[in-house]
Structures are given as structure tokens and as C-alpha cells.
Structure 1
Amino acid sequence: MRGLLVGRMQPVHQGHLQVIKRILEEVDEVIICVGSAQLSHTIKDPFTAGERVMMLTKALSENGIPASKYYIIPIQDIACNSVWVAHLKMLTPPFEKVYTGNPLVQRLFIEDHYQVTVPPLYYRDTFSGTEVRKRMLEEEEWQALVPPSVKEVIIEIGGVERIKHLSKKEVSEK
């Protein structure tokens, strides 16, 4: 059986990794959809789809999850919810089960007759992209919230500096 997980992964953190491991206890393969693939370079979505794919690939590898167990597919948003599931199905291998905590995504797949499961969240107050990005901005400890390989990717691409730069207020010229 193949399952599908949709998430923005901004950035990939320990919670994502735990959810993927749990999903792989229930299915043979997981399709990981990197959602909102067209977004980057904002406070909420600082990383590109390519950077997020790199983070996921390295984190799964460093945790001993064989590449034969997953597919990573960037998915761009479309402005019409009623055709979003068809759009996603066109871009992914076939799947039987959907894992998502997003109520809109749940509803869209339920209406398309999929089995939808809310994945168990792993210390959600600590392990969330919002918390990781907040800590980066406030110069607090964020590295422990992400797998070591993800920390390396964020450092390699200047991710902390990017978020800090993007958070600056525009300076008006006088």
C-alpha cells in the first residue's frame, strides 16, 4: 500500500521525520508532497521547493530510510480547490491512503473518496516550522529542532540570514 503526505516543510524538522517514520509503519511506500512549491523567500515560506527536497532527502537518508520507500514531489498550489486533488493525482504515483492534519486537504480528499488519516503529531508545540523560523529570527536555539543534515543544508544556503533579511522592515528614503 502507498500513502500520501502533504506538507510545506518550511523547514523539515524532527516532527516531520517522526510522522514519516510512523506512516512507513502502516504503508509500504510514502509519497511526500512538498506543498506550496511555488513559494519561497518570505517569512512564512523562506525555502525553495528544491531546498526542501534536499532537506528531506538528506534527513531520510541519515535516518536509514531507503530511497525505495519514498517519493518526494513538489506540488504547486492552484487557485481552484475543487480540482486540486485531480491536479495532485496527475503529479504523483497512485496512492490509497492520505495523511494530513490540514482540514481543507482532508475535506478535498474525503470528497474524492480517499481514506484520510490525521498523522500523529510529534510534540507539535516544539516541532513546527513556525517555531523553527521564530527561533531563527530571535537567535534562539533552533538546531535541535531539525535533523543534523537539515541544519547543514540551512547553513549551506544561508537560511538564517535569509529569514533575518526578509524580516527587516522596509526603510523609506527621505
Structure 2
Amino acid sequence: MKEKRGLLIGRMQPVHKGHISVIQETLKEVEELIIGIGSAEKSHTQSNPFTGGERVLMLTKALREYDVDPSRYYIIPLEDISCNSLWVGHVKMLTPPFCKVYSGNSLVQQLFEEGEIPCIQPSLFNRTEYSGTEVRKRILNDDDWQSLIPESVVKVINEIKGVQRIQKLNKKEISELI
């Protein structure tokens, strides 16, 4: 029997095919899925180049592209707070009720387990290739990054001039090191 509702948390910097695979697999276990866009307040850095709103747009378009039923998920930006022990309560305040959490992040797992909410590490789809870090690295190296992400996300990244942003952020951070 499927659980009523689960929570999946990820930064999605950017949304890639691995995220879509995890979402599709998780929807086999729950009736509804809350997709939390983690660190929603962070943007314009090398590891967090996209805004929370841009990531919501990417994910909405990608899920539509992959024919995921919109009545089965909610996308909610989740901001970090400076006190980890209060973060679970913060997340619960921002989301509909959920029965379990899906996350590959060990801190997220620890915090929810301390809050007595079951946490499951989802099976990751080809993690060496499908990761935000790999996508951003390929963008910087002018390597094939488009094959790692849904076509709709490629369009969003092009629309917001995301490639140029990542390249400029890399130059900025290198110059700060010198």
C-alpha cells in the first residue's frame, strides 16, 4: 500500500535527468510527493547558480515534459535557516503534512530522523553522470551538458542566460582567490 504523501528535498542546481528518475521512482511509493527545492534563498554562486524561482520553473517544465501528473506533486521552495535543530519544524510549517522524507543528504536524513520522521535514501540514477556538480562542470568546460538534463531545462537555462552566468561566476570566484 502506498504512503499518502512523501517529501523529497534537493537543491536541483540545475534540474537534471537523475532528479526526474528519482521523482518518478518515488511516485511509485507515495500517492503525492512534495518536492522541496532546498536552499531556495541561495543563488549566483558557483555551487548555487540558479535562483529558487528559476529552479521551480525548470522542475515544472521538466515534469511536464516527462508527463508526470501535476495532481501528484507540489513544488515548494525551502529556505535554509541558521539553526539546524529548528529546520525540520521550519520545513513542516511550509509544507503539507507528509509521512516520510526522501533525501540523499546525510544532514537532512539526520535532522528528520531526530524529529522521528522516517527518512529514506532514494536510489540515485547514474550519480557519477547525473549530478548538478557534473552539469555545472561541463558547462564551464564547454562540454556536452545538454544530454544530462531535460530539453525543457536546456531551454530555461538558455532563456535566463545560465551558461553565461555560470561562466561569469567562475571567473569572479577565481579572481577572488588571487
TM-score normalised over the length of structure 1: 0.96
1:2-13 superposed matches below 5 A:
2-13=5-16
TM superposition shift of 1:97 = 1.1
Question: Residue 162 in 1 paired to residue 165 in 2?
Answer: yes
Give the match for residue 85 of structure 2.
82
Give the match for residue 153 of structure 2.
150
Question: Residue 16 in 1 paired to residue 19 in 2?
Answer: yes
Give the match for residue 28 of structure 1.
31
Question: Residue 134 in 1 paired to residue 137 in 2?
Answer: yes
Give the match for residue 125 of structure 1.
128
The separation in 1 between residues aligned to 2:124 and 2:134, in whole angstroms, is 14
Give the match for residue 103 of structure 1.
106
Q: Which runs of 4+ in 1 moved over 6 A?
A: none
One-letter amino acid matched to 2:35: I
The separation in 2 between residues aligned to 1:50 and 1:116, in whole angstroms, is 26
1:14-93 superposed matches below 5 A:
14-93=17-96
One-letter amino acid matched to 2:26: I
TM superposition shift of 1:171 = 5.9
TM-score normalised over the length of structure 2: 0.94
> SS of the residue aligned with 1:155?
helix
One-letter amino acid matched to 2:59: L
Relative distance call for 1:171 and 1:95 in structure 2 (3 A) is closer
The separation in 1 between residues aligned to 2:45 and 2:106, in whole angstroms, is 24
> SS of the residue aligned with 1:127?
coil
> SS of the residue aligned with 1:43?
coil
Deviations along 1:26-72, one digit per CA (max 9) or x if unpaired, are: 00110000010111011100000000000000000111111111000
One-letter amino acid matched to 1:120: S
One-letter amino acid matched to 1:42: T
The separation in 2 between residues aligned to 1:41 and 1:107, in whole angstroms, is 28
One-letter amino acid matched to 1:137: L
Question: Over aligned residue pairs, what C-alpha RMSD do you find?
Answer: 1.1
- Structure 2: 5+ residue stretches without partners: none
Q: Give the number of equivalent residue pairs.
A: 172
The separation in 1 between residues aligned to 2:149 and 2:26, in whole angstroms, is 19
Q: Percent identity of the aligned residues?
A: 59
